[in-house]
Amino acid sequence: MSMLNDIQELVSAEVISRETGDKIRDYYRNKRGLSINWLYLVFGVLGAILVGLGIILLIAHNWDELSLTVKTGIAFLPLIAAQILSGFSLIKKRQSVSWRESSSVLLFFAVGACISMISQIYHIPGNLSAFILTWVLLCLPLIYLMSSSIVSLFYLIGITYYACETGYWSSPVSESYTYWLLLLPDLPHYYQLYKKKHGSNFMTFHNWFIPLSLVISLGTLSNSNPEFMYIAYFNLFAFLYLLGNLKFLTKQKLTDNGYLITGTMGTLILLLMLSFDWFWKELENKSFRFNELMLSPEFIASAVFLLAAGSLFYTGQKRKAIRDIHPVAVVFILFMITFFIGRISGISVVLINLYVFAIGILTILDGVKRNHLGVLNFGLLIITALVICRFFDEAISFVFRGILFVSVGIGFFATNQMILKRRKANG
């Protein structure tokens, strides 16, 4: 209320025009309205989940005493009720996000509860992966019928869990190719969010869920040539990093850009892992059969993400000078070269350490150039992480390790002081 009075006072004093005052009022009214709607949405979804769980607990208390017919009716009752509520939301409350999302979430869990209860009542055999697959496929239409972004997020969680169940945890383990087909139907909804609600919280959540889902699920393709999964992962992280540098994502806050953070951190973590010599010793002793390798899921995944990352790199960097290309963006190319060098020489482990060191130094220089303490300290953290890794390297003496730690500590202090002095000098 004070804000609106201040605007009226500014208009009366002719500090701002009446038209500008009206625009400011409209902006804050709309902003407040969005906050309230988001609050209603959160409580609506939580309410739907709690009601569903409460009903399940009440029924479970007397479950053994009920007849088969009553049990079947109870299994379908939440599903029918949720469908009626969703139909009401779709017809009467279509413009209300909280109604649509709440009823969609209730129906999503009602479907899962109904499937599991019917399976238990009639002793229908099956496994967890089949249950998850059936559940997410039945609920897939909800994403588009109800325009539900929360169901879209649950769908992503479901297919990721399905990939883990089939590719990591089941016995015998199999490559989870189905995941990649299941991911495709959700992408049109993501595109709709980008076109219509690119600044929304739903878009932000998708910007994190999708890259994390890809990273978790890619490993399920590993079979007889696991060494090539490192190439696949470097290519994937490069693809995510370059996606995160697209214009519509760089305009958002850094914490909202899951692609950029996942791509950057994934690349650095892999480089630090491979800065030890264990992988390169195994690679030298590994023999590959060319015909089998070309048809392996690891090679195909590497090739697909290489094409994707290469295309983004070419289109995004062709107009930039070499000095403007961020070092993380080219690691996927350098690693492939290093990988094949590692087949014949142990120098690859040295090259990996040099890559990490170079990324750290170039990031520090970028931070100094931009007068940005966050970028500067991130570069120093990269160097520190490399030094910590070398601390556990038995081939390096304790004296040299100590010198490394002291040098990095001095670097932290000196560079931060330099930036702070520069800021003071510039006022």
Distance in angstroms (rounded) separating the CA atoms of residues 195 and 189: 10
Q: What does the alpha-carbon distance between residue 335 and residue 337 come to, in Å, rounded to a whole number?
A: 5
**CA gap 415, 250 in Å, rounded:** 27
Q: Is residue 157 one of the residues assigned to a domain?
A: yes
Look up residue 119 and give its two tokens: 């399976």
Of 368, 365, 345, 346, nearest in space to 357 by CA: 365
Percent share of the chain, pLDDT over 90: 35
Note whether 76 and 40 are same-domain residues.
Answer: yes
Q: Is residue 207 part of a domain?
A: yes
Q: For residue 71, what pLDDT is reported?
A: 82
Other CB atoms within 10 A of residue 210 CB: 22
Domain annotation covers residue 219: no
Residue 327 to residue 157: CA distance in whole angstroms: 32
Domain closes at, from 214, 231, 251: 214
- The count of domains in the chain is 2
Q: Which of the listed residues 198, 214, 230 is the one where a domain comes to its end? A: 214
Q: Tokens 């969680």 sit at which residue?
A: 157
Residue 27 inside a domain? The answer is yes
Which pLDDT value is given to residue 32?
47
CA distance 365 to 369: 6
- Give whole-number Cα distances, 294 to 232, 331, 384, in Å: 14, 23, 39
How far is it, in rounded angstroms, from Cα 352 to Cα 356?
A: 6
Specify the pTM: 0.82
The residues, any chain, with a CB within 8 Å of residue 47's CB and separated by 6 or more, are 102
Distance set, CA 37 to CA 42, 96, 191, 354 (Å) = 9, 9, 23, 51
Q: What is the pLDDT of residue 389?
A: 85
In this prediction, residue 212 carries a pLDDT of: 97
* Structural domain boundaries, residue 36: 1-106
State which residues of the chain have pLDDT below 70.
1-9, 11, 15, 21-45, 48-49, 51-53, 55-64, 171-175, 393-401, 404-405, 408, 412, 416, 419, 422-427
Q: Read off φ and ψ for residue 173, nearest 5 degrees.
A: -75, 140
Asked if residue 398 belongs to a domain, the reply is no
134 and 59 belong to one structural domain: no
The whole-angstrom separation of Cα 397 and Cα 382 is 21
Cα distance between residue 166 and residue 217, in whole Å: 10
Crossing angle of helices 149-164 and 128-145, in 10° steps, is 160
Q: What pLDDT score does 199 carry?
A: 78
